[in-house]
Structure 1
Amino acid sequence: MADTPPFTLRHWLQDRALRALIWLLLRLPYRVRVPLCGWVISRLVAPLAGYRQRVRDNLALVLPDLPSAEVERIARAVPDNVGRTVIEIYSGPEFIAHAVSHPLTGGGVAALEEAHRDGRPVILVTGHFGNYDASRAALIARGYRVGALYMPMANRYFNEHYVAAISGIGTPLFPRGRAGMANMVRHLKSGGMLGLLVDQHMGHGEPLTFFGEQALTALSAAELALKYNALLVPTYAIRGPDGLSFDIIVEAPIPHNTPEAMTQALNDSLEALVRGHLDQWFWIHRRWKGKDS
């Protein structure tokens, strides 16, 4: 078992502020709280936390020809989407109802249904795009056995209630680490589905490309698919124009190949989607570390 992180006053104060904000927002109707949280994160938190500048820096690296007005629009819209995502996840049944109210679409729906009937394991891969938990919520609500691997947050106070919130959407959940990995493997071997996010910098990842630049990327999703003969399926939730609804996309499975080729295909899938919806990917992440990002 991992040691409990020591008390950190800064983390404790940050968590108190977040708890208060979430508590207040949850007192409001869903259609009010979601855009309001987006506004708070975009207009108040993002400038102080440096999120807008990070968005600008990432866009300057990979899309240097974007007009400045479009860059500024995206710099405001990205943290707005982040804020909406956070309060949606804390909204439990109301969020699930929005996620499941639209049909699954895309070239992989039939393959997913067949795998579910046959008890074949599936690796569902998404990115920090739209609301990354909406596709998991939509599938679980339809009876699919979807677990998720997650990275415990550095702020242990926030992590406690965040894990409780994502557990409310569905379980099982597997923290990164030896015990979590063992339970995750058992889930896959039993024919379960596993959700993974693979669009963050991984120091020991493979130097693949994303938006034409080298991005260190974990091969774990592809390696798991090969080891357990699982389907490797990209899935996304595109936020609708109303800011509340989603299009749940299930793409065709990635053919089994080398882990590097399969993972590059995942990067390419996400990149194609992001290019069509530049304001819905979390450009606040340091995806291209070491590339002036």
Structure 2
Amino acid sequence: MHSDGDAPPFRPDHFAINLVARGLIGLGLALPYAWRVPLVGWLMRRVIGPLAGYDQRARENLAMVWPDRPLAERKAIAAAALDNAGRTLIENYSTRDFLARARTIEPEGPGYRALIEAREAGRPVILVSGHFGNYEAARAALVARGFDIGGLYRNLSNRYFNAHYVRTMQAFGGPVFPQGRVGTAGFVRHLKAGGQLVLLFDQDVPGAPALPFLGHPARTALSAAELALRLKAQLIPFFATRAADGLGFRVELDAPIPHSDPETMMRAVTSALEARVQAHPGQWFWIHRRWKGVNPA
């Protein structure tokens, strides 16, 4: 039983946001899968994103990165990014339907062969990606093929939403670990036992070195490469690109990044993400404050 000093304070704003989010998710889950995914994408693009300021933030990032592109084109990319974010949200809560679809995805690319060989040899692998398409489609497809793919998550500030958010990630299979000392110890043990781990690297990290991303310096954690070097694990970039129908995915694993030094390795990973963003700009999460620490404006 918590004492008053131990119990987290009640946050009416967080509680209300969670109620709205759960209501939206519940509405989506009541519909057939092929309807719910585009519906929540539309709601994020036309209602939630603009109200929450996500649309404006995406446009500001796009204006900084691609100032020479026509305004109408940048607006279209921002709208597509919001749509993808909404689709990703409801897909990740549609565990049974999403997993059934993921089982039909055949991963491809040189990194997939490297992943199979590492599993057969009992060697650890770190799969690294960004907030592009829906990375959970790749993890689900690999788990369906017998890979022991662990995940790392950051606890959300909204503890009411965080409770079901964590349960949703656990439902995809494979262990998940919270960021922090306890979680780090858990996923290191998982890797040492020859497991695989998914890490996302494309968020601003205070104190991290600024590496170029889409023409601008962005503080980028080196932890994925440092861990790969420390544990002699393969570092493989992977991407789940949304198909033209808005429901399917193409899962690609790039060739493993050669071991050198952490910064050089993460520059290579960043270049792999840049190539995907250039090819499918509406599938990256432009609402992140990716350049926050270096370009505050």
After superposition, give the CA deviation of every residue in 1:47-69 in whole Å (9 maximum; x if it has no partner). 11111111111111111111111
Ranges in structure 1 where 5+ consecutive residues have no aligned partner: none
Alignment of 1:125 with 2:115, yes or no, is no
Distance 1:26 1:219 in 2: 38
Deviations 1:218-267 (CA, angstroms, capped at 9, x unpaired): 00000000000000000110000000000001110000010000011111
What SS does structure 2 have at the residue aligned with 1:256? coil
The DSSP-based 3-state class of the residue aligned with 2:110 is: coil
Whether 2:289 is the aligned partner of 1:283: answer no
8 Å CA contact retained: 1:233, 1:253:
yes
Partner SS, residue 234 of structure 1: strand
Secondary structure, aligned partner of 1:263: helix
The answer to whether the 8 Å contact 1:108/1:251 transfers is yes
Shift of 1:195: 0.3
| Aligned equivalent of 1:228 | 231
Q: Give the SS at the match of 1:249.
A: strand
Letter matched to residue 107 of structure 1: P
Q: Secondary structure at the match of 2:45?
A: helix
Match of 2:215 in 1: 212
Q: C-alpha separation between the residues in 1 aligned to 2:7 and 2:44?
A: 29
What residue is the counterpart of 2:240 in the other structure? 237
Contact 1:208 1:264 (8 Å CA) reproduced:
yes
1:75 to 65, 71, 78: 78
The match for 1:148 is: 151
- Per the alignment, do residues 150 and 257 of structure 1 end up closer, same or farther by CA in structure 2, a change over 3 Å counting? same
Q: Deviations over 1:139-173 (max 9, x none)?
A: 11110010011111111110100111111111300
Structure 2 distance, partners of 1:119, 1:194, is 14
> Structure 1 pair 70/4, CA: closer, same or farther in 2 (3 Å)?
farther
Question: In structure 1, what is the equivalent of residue 3 of structure 2?
Answer: none
Q: Which residue of 1 aligns with 2:12?
A: 9
Counterpart selection for 2:65 from 53, 62, 67: 62
Aligned amino acid, residue 65 of structure 1: D
Name the amino acid aligned to 1:59: L
Q: Which residue is 1:25 aligned to?
A: 28
The alignment status of 1:34 with 2:37, answered yes or no, reads: yes
Whether the 8 Å contact between 1:98 and 1:244 is mirrored in structure 2 is no
Give 1:100 shift. 2.6
TM-score by length of 2: 0.96
SS of structure 2 residue aligned to 1:133: helix
1:279–1:5 distance in 2 versus 1, CA, 3 Å:
farther
Matched, 1:91 2:94: yes
Does the CA-based 8 Å contact 1:5-1:156 persist in structure 2?
A: no
Report deviation, 1:99. Answer: 2.1
Distance change (3 Å), C-alpha of 1:239 and 1:169? same
| Structure 2 segments unaligned to the other structure (5+ residues) | 1-5
Residue 103 of structure 1: which of 100, 103, 106 is its match?
Answer: 106
Question: Take 1:54 and 1:168, find their aligned partners in 2: how far apart are those partners?
Answer: 31
* Fraction of identical pairs, as percent: 54
- Find the residue that maps to 1:105 and give its secondary structure: coil
Q: Runs of at least 4 residues of structure 1 off by over 3 A?
A: none
Over the aligned positions, Cα root-mean-square deviation in angstroms equals 1.1
Q: Which residue of 1 aligns with 2:182?
A: 179
User: Is the CA contact (8 Å cut-off) linking 1:52 and 1:76 kept in structure 2?
Assistant: yes
Distance 1:146 1:272, change over 3 A: same
Equivalent pair of 1:98/1:246 in contact (CA under 8 Å): no
Tell me by how many angstroms 1:277 deviates: 0.2
Give the aligned residue type for 2:206: G
1:199 corresponds, among 179, 194, 202, to 202
- What is the CA–CA distance in structure 1 between the aligned matches of 2:127 and 2:208, rounded to whole Å? 19
In 1, the alpha carbon distance for the partners of 2:51 and 2:168 equals: 26
Mapped to 2, the partners of 1:136 and 1:205 lie a distance apart of 27
Tell me, what secondary structure is at the counterpart of 2:190?
A: helix
* 8 Å Cα contact 1:38-1:79 kept in structure 2: yes
Letter in structure 2 aligned against 1:24: L
Aligned equivalents of 2:81, 2:200: Cα separation in 1: 18
